A and B are shown apart, each in its own frame.
Chain A
């Protein structure tokens, strides 16, 4: 099947830390992507994990556990401009991206 789940919406405070979780079930897996999408714009690439563990890139980090079918995106030192939707997607055995519905992140001052 092609099941991938992430929360619909999250709220966080400027300067704080937020973790967006993503779970998936698939028989074929070639990595997990996180994209950021501002309203009315196309997605922009944030991270790609294919091995277990944490990948850190500036204020953003992404974690993967293949055995648990679980990933998270960690955003530190939140800024107002981080208000956006965050999409997780796994790449299946045909190298096609299977998208989650996206998590709308609202940052409050």
Chain B
């Protein structure tokens, strides 16, 4: 099956700093990438959808200036959490989908802790 990687797997940062998370599709071209956030014991919450070369579409309630998404190539999307606060601490998961595919392939996730 298709492989999606995420980096870093865990990150601890101080309040007020910014953190960048990378999502890569390793063996297929991801025309669409999705960014999710998951709090403990809760389901996945879609934050935004990005298509290669286009601006991301953010879900209601997600601040686009705080969560910067770049999908510059068919294999890489990045999520930057700017001016992080402790309430941003969460499990961030990306997924990717090819042009002729319905299935989303998930990355392993990034555990962000803001102190």
B-binding residues in A (CB < 8 A)? 30-31, 33, 35, 40-45, 48, 87, 91, 95-97, 99-102
For residue B114, CB closer than 8 A to chain A, the reply is no
Contact yes or no, B106 A44, CB < 8 A? yes
Residues from chain A with a CB closer than 8 A to the CB of B42 are 101
Give the tally of cross-chain contacts (CB within 8 A). 40
In the complex, which residue of chain B has the Cβ closest to the Cβ of A8? B41
For residue B79, CB closer than 8 A to chain A, the reply is no
B86-114 Cβ-contact flags toward A at 8 Å (1 or 0): 00000101000000001111111101000
Interface of B is mostly: loop
Query: Which residues B14-66 have CB closer than 8 A to chain A?
Result: 34, 42-44, 46, 49
Other CB < 8 Å A-B pairs besides A45-B1, A101-B42, 16 of them? A30-B102, A42-B93, A42-B108, A42-B109, A43-B44, A43-B93, A45-B105, A48-B102, A87-B43, A96-B49, A97-B34, A97-B46, A99-B43, A99-B46, A100-B43, A102-B43
A-binding residues in B (CB < 8 A)? 1, 34, 42-44, 46, 49, 91, 93, 102-109, 111
Residues from chain B with a CB closer than 8 A to the CB of A42 are 93, 106-109
Interface of A is mostly: loop
- A91 with B43, Cβ < 8 A, contacts A40-B111, A96-B49 known: no
